[in-house]
């Protein structure tokens, strides 16, 4: 089955700086890669996703890049703010619209230092 | 608010007991997924239902079972509970023709 590795496990950045979180996946058939943000005790919240036919996607301060050949994808957050502090999870699935179980990475705890 | 609801929010019970967790998907969503989140195992996929039928199974224990009803709500039944079953249980839903999953607020299960 699919295996997703995520690095780093913890990340501290100064407010205003950029943060990068990286994930690798094992199943070359995976074609859907969402990122979730989870605050303590709350639900995972989708922040951005990318599909395998796209190499990069951006939404305001958040961007995701995908390298299918190397089987890795990354989350980039620019101009970080205190409210970006949370745990971020990457995930992968072999999406065929009806069977999309997500395999999650182990999470990155991001702390923004004011 | 994702539109996915889960009850109860918290559940405290004893080892050996049985509990039922309930999930209502977003309006119109046909797929329901159950995930377990524990400190040492992270977010683990348990099971998926699509329009009332089981579609995919993950590392779900035999003591656990689920079903999706005609109104599309789903229930996760956990029996013969052990201390290690203490975790956050999330359900998520997605619509037909889409792979985006929206998570509910979760049920925190504590087994004493």
pLDDT one-digit tens code per residue, B57-88? 998 999 999 999 999 999 999 999 999 999 99
Helix, coil or strand: residue B84: helix
**pLDDT at residue B32, rounded to an integer:** 95
Q: Chain A residue with minimal CA distance to B89?
A: A43
Tell if the CB–CB gap between A104 and B101 is shorter than 8 Å: no
- Closest approach of chain A CAs to the CA of B38, in angstroms? 11
Mean pLDDT for chain A overall = 93
Cα–Cα distance for residue pair A55/A66, rounded to 1 Å? 5
Q: In this structure, are residues A78 and A11 in contact, taking their beta carbons and an 8 Å threshold?
A: no
**CB distance B86 to B109 below 8 Å:** yes
**Pairwise CA distance, residues A6 & A87, whole Å:** 12
Q: How confident is the model at residue B59, as a pLDDT?
A: 84
Q: Which residues does residue A72 pair with via DSSP β-bridges, in sequence order?
A: A24, A67
Rounded distance between C-alpha atoms, residue A13 and residue A80, angstroms: 8
Express as a percent the part of chain A with pLDDT over 90.
85
Q: Is the pLDDT of residue A107 over 70?
A: yes
pLDDT tier at A99 (50, 70, 90 boundaries)?
low
pLDDT-flagged residues of chain B (< 70): none
Question: Per residue in A36-75, pLDDT tens?
Answer: 999 988 999 999 999 988 899 999 999 999 999 999 999 9
Residue A76's pLDDT is 98
Dump strand ranges (E) for chain A.
4-7, 10-14, 19-25, 32-38, 45-51, 56-59, 62-67, 72-77, 86-92, 103-104, 108-113
* Beta bridge pairs of residue B36: B44, B89
Chain A positions in Cβ-Cβ contact with residue B100 (cut-off 8 Å): 34, 46, 49
Helix-strand-coil percent breakdown of chain B, rounded to 5? 5, 55, 45
Tell me the chain B residues in contact with residue A42 when contact means C-beta distances shorter than 8 Å. Answer: 105-106
Is A40 part of the contact surface with chain B (CB cutoff 8 Å)?
no
Q: Quick check: A39 contacting B, CB < 8 Å?
A: no
């Amino acid at each position: 089955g699919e295996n997703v590795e995520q690095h780093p496990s913890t990340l501290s950045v100064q407010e205003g700086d950029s943060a990068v979180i990286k994930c690798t996946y094992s199943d070359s058939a995976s074609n859907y890669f969402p990122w979730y943000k989870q605050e303590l005790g709350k639900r995972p919240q989708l922040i951005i996703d990318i599909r395998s036919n796209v190499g990069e996607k951006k939404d305001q301060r958040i961007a995701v890049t995908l390298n299918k050949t190397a089987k890795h994808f990354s989350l980039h957050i620019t101009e970080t703010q205190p409210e970006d502090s949370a745990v971020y999870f990457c995930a992968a699935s072999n999406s065929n619209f009806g069977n999309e179980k997500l395999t999650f990475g182990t999470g990155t705890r991001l702390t923004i230092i004011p | 608010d994702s539109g996915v609801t889960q009850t109860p929010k918290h559940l405290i019970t004893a080892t050996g007991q049985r509990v039922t967790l309930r999930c209502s998907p977003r309006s119109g969503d046909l797929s329901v997924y159950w995930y377990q989140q524990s400190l040492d195992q992270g977010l683990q996929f348990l099971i998926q239902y699509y329009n009332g039928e089981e579609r995919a199974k993950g590392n779900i224990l035999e003591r656990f079972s689920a079903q999706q009803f005609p109104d599309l709500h789903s229930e996760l039944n956990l029996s013969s509970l052990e201390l290690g079953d203490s975790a956050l249980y999330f359900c998520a839903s997605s619509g037909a023709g889409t792979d985006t999953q929206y998570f509910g607020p979760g049920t925190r299960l504590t087994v004493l």
